[in-house]
Amino acid sequence: MIDIHELTKRYGAKTAVNGLSLTVRPGRVTGFLGPNGAGKSTTLRLILGLHTPSAGTVTVDGRPFRDRPRGLRHVGALLDAHDVHGGRSARAHLSALAHGNGLGGRRVAQVLEEVGLTDAARRRIGGFSLGMKQRLGIAAALLGDPPVLLFDEPLNGLDPEGVLWVRGLFARLAAEGRTVLVSSHLMREMEHTAEELVVIGRGELIAAESLAAFSARGTRRTVTVRTPDTAALAAVLTAEGGELRTEADGSCTVTGLAADRVGALAHRHRLMLHELTPQASSLEEAFMELTADSVEYGSGDRR
């Protein structure tokens, strides 16, 4: 379990993390989402004690991570897949880590196998693709068989088969009762990866809840309608504050009114409906809406 309490990190005049409080629980994969520059990497570094908080506290299973000798046995982390010595082989890299953490060599072979790098174990890391480096970083995180795992943008550079593999691995690690925190700036990456979400923007907490609860936050819900009386229905709905758009397939998309209200209005005005389907707001939409004000380097049209 990771406990973050009123955590703030300033770099000079820049506040990267601002009064952040949250708990990441074991047994589920938690997605850590936010636009670029939201403070995700800074938070992960603060959890690992690589940076010192300006204020607040962060503990891993009840203690600051820095207080733990042989850290890999407690927290495994992939922060930056490129942060490896390119001249070393994958096996040498992992062996050095294992040695520094009092872990046996057998574990190195096990994690190489786990991430599918056994055949590449003797090759220089410098020649690895980004996807292979991500796998190596995941192997390093798994080395100490830790109860808590942190992954910063682990899906970057992975091919579709790699993405599926990582999702399966994270789900298994969580099912084993571990705490698994996975950062991403892309909602669509988390949609099939995480069960819980923590969303931050400009260093502040925006949401911490299940994927389903987060999805329900989208306010731009729409209703799909089919009717032989499009013009009449459009007039009725517009008078009630809704908006009706005709789609290429002949259906209509209604915004601004809930499905039951659309149905009641059609009934009152004796208009025939062939379909009345509320559309769940997509996760992506909820994410864009909630983080629109915190996009640091956005294109402008997201606001």
Distance between CA atoms of residues 134 and 122, nearest Å: 17
Estimate the share of the chain in helix, then strand, then coil, as percent rounded to the nearest 5. Answer: 35, 25, 35
Helix ranges (H only) for the chain are 40-47, 90-100, 105-114, 130-142, 160-175, 187-191, 211-215, 230-239, 259-268, 283-291
Nearer to ligand ATP by C-beta: 77 or 103? 77
What are the tokens at 132? 């292979």
Minimum CB–partner distance for residue 205 and ligand ATP (Å): 13
Closest CA to 45 of 25, 18, 17: 17
Minimum CB–partner distance for residue 181 and ligand ATP (Å): 13
What are the tokens at 50? 């690589």
Nearer to ligand ATP by C-beta: 227 or 294? 294
Distance between CA atoms of residues 182 and 189, nearest Å: 10
Q: Segment 1-60, which members bind ligand ATP (CB under 6 A)?
A: 11, 14, 16, 34, 36-42
Nearer to ligand ATP by C-beta: 134 or 227? 134
Strands 243-246 and 14-24, sheet pairing: unpaired
Nearer to ligand ATP by C-beta: 34 or 147? 34
Minimum CB–partner distance for residue 147 and ligand ATP (Å): 24
Nearer to ligand ATP by C-beta: 46 or 237? 46
Nearer to ligand ATP by C-beta: 79 or 163? 79
Query: Residues 112-131: x/- map of binding to ligand ATP (CB under 6 A)?
Result: --------------------
Query: Number of C-alpha atoms within 13 angstroms, CB side, residue 229?
Result: 12
Contacts with 69 (C-beta within 8 Å, 6 or more apart), sequence order: none
Note whether 185 binds ligand ATP by CB under 6 A.
yes
Query: Residues 140-179: x/- map of binding to ligand ATP (CB under 6 A)?
Result: ----------------------------------------
Minimum CB–partner distance for residue 299 and ligand ATP (Å): 15
Contacts with 18 (C-beta within 8 Å, 6 or more apart), sequence order: 8, 39, 202, 203, 204
Total residues interacting with ligand ATP, rule: CB under 6 A: 12
Nearer to ligand ATP by C-beta: 51 or 124? 51
Measured in whole angstroms, the distance separating CA 297 from the mean position of its chain's CA atoms is 19
Minimum CB–partner distance for residue 11 and ligand ATP (Å): 3
Closest CA to 71 of 41, 95, 100, 110: 100
Minimum CB–partner distance for residue 210 and ligand ATP (Å): 22
Minimum CB–partner distance for residue 155 and ligand ATP (Å): 13
In the complex, the residues that contact ligand ATP under the rule CB under 6 A are 11, 14, 16, 34, 36-42, 185
